[in-house]
Homo-oligomer: A and B are copies of this chain.
Amino acid sequence: MNYNGNKAKNIKIAYIGGGSRGWAWGLMSDLAACSDISGEVYLYDIDFQAAYSNEVIGNMFNECENAKSSWSYHAVKNIGEALNGANFVILSILPGTFDEMESDVHSPEKYGIYQPVGDTTGPGGIIRAMRTVPMYEYFAENIKKFCPFAWVINYTNPMTLCVKTLYRVFPEIKAFGCCHEVFGTQKVLSQALDSILNIKGIDHKAIKVNPVGVNHFTWITEAKYKNIDLFPVYEKFAEKYSETGYTENLDNNWMNNVFECSQKVKLDLFKRYGYIAAAGDRHLAEFCEGKWYLESPKKIRQWGFALTPVSWRKGDLKNRLEKSKRYISGEEKVSIRETGEEGVNQIRAILGLEDLVTNVNIPNIGQIPNLPLGAVVETNAVFTDDSVKPVMAGDIPKEIYPLIARICGEQQMLDEAIAKRDIEMIFNVFVNDPLVTCSLHEARELFSQMVLNTKDYLSDYDLSSLGV
- Residue A352, interface by CB 8 Å: yes
Interface size class of A (residues with CB under 8 A): 35 or more
- Residue A146 interfacial (CB < 8 Å): no
Determine whether the beta carbon of B413 is less than 8 Å from that of A224: no
Tell me if A's interface is mostly helix, strand, loop or mixed: mixed
Q: Give the segment of A15-23, A127-135, A289-297, A333-341 that binds chain B.
A: A289-297
Contacts of A406 in B (CB 8 A): 402, 405-406, 409
State whether B387 touches A389 (Cβ < 8 A).
no
A interface with B by C-beta (< 8 Å): 1, 3, 8, 206, 208, 210, 222, 224-227, 229, 272-273, 289, 291-293, 295, 299, 351-352, 355, 357, 365-367, 369-370, 372, 380, 382, 384-387, 389-394, 398-399, 401-403, 405-406, 409-410, 412-413, 416, 424-425, 427-429, 431-432, 436-440
Q: Are A208 and B352 in contact (CB under 8 A)?
A: yes
Q: Which residues of B contact A429 (CB under 8 A)?
A: 402
Q: Are A409 and B401 in contact (CB under 8 A)?
A: yes
Give 4 nearest A-B pairs by CB, closest first: A402-B409, A226-B352, A224-B385, A406-B406
Alpha-carbon gap, A154 to B229, bound state (A)? 24
Which of A367, A385, A394, A413 is packed against the most chain B CB atoms within 10 Å? Answer: A385
Q: Are A291 and B440 in contact (CB under 8 A)?
A: yes
Contact B352 A428 (CB under 8 A): no
Number of this chain's copies in the assembly equals 4
Contact in complex: B385, A289 (CB < 8 Å)? no
Task: Tell me if A403 and B432 are in contact (CB < 8 A).
Answer: yes
Q: Chain B residues near A405 (CB, 8 Å)?
A: 402, 405-406, 409
Q: Given B390, B392, B416, which contacts A365 in the complex, CB threshold below 8 Å?
A: B392
Q: Would B437 and A437 count as touching, CB distance under 8 A?
A: yes
Given contacts A292-B440, A365-B394, A440-B291, contact A1 B412 (CB under 8 A): no
Chain B residue with Cβ nearest A384: B208
Q: Which residues of B contact A403 (CB under 8 A)?
A: 432
Closest Cβ neighbor of A353 among chain B residues: B226
Q: Do A387 and B292 touch (CB < 8 A)?
A: no
**A367-B392, A382-B380 known; A225 and B438 CB under 8 Å?**
no
Residues B3 and A226 in contact, CB atoms below 8 Å apart = yes
Write the nearest CB–CB distance from A11 to chain B, whole angstroms. Answer: 10
* Complex Cα gap A272–B425 (Å): 7
Residue among A8, A225, A380, A392 facing the most chain B CB atoms (10 A cut-off): A392
Once bound together, how far apart are the Cα atoms of A384 and B205, in whole Å?
Answer: 12
A to B CB contacts below 8 Å, 11 in the list: A1-B227, A3-B226, A224-B385, A226-B386, A292-B439, A372-B401, A390-B392, A398-B413, A398-B416, A402-B406, A403-B432
User: Of B226, B391, B401, B436, which one neighbours A413 at CB under 8 angstroms?
Assistant: B401
Given A272-B424, A365-B394, A437-B437; A352-B225 close (CB under 8 Å)? yes
Contact A382 B386 (CB under 8 A): no
Nearest chain B residue, comparing its CB with the CB of A295: B439
- What chain B residues lie within 8 Å of A438 (beta carbons)? 291
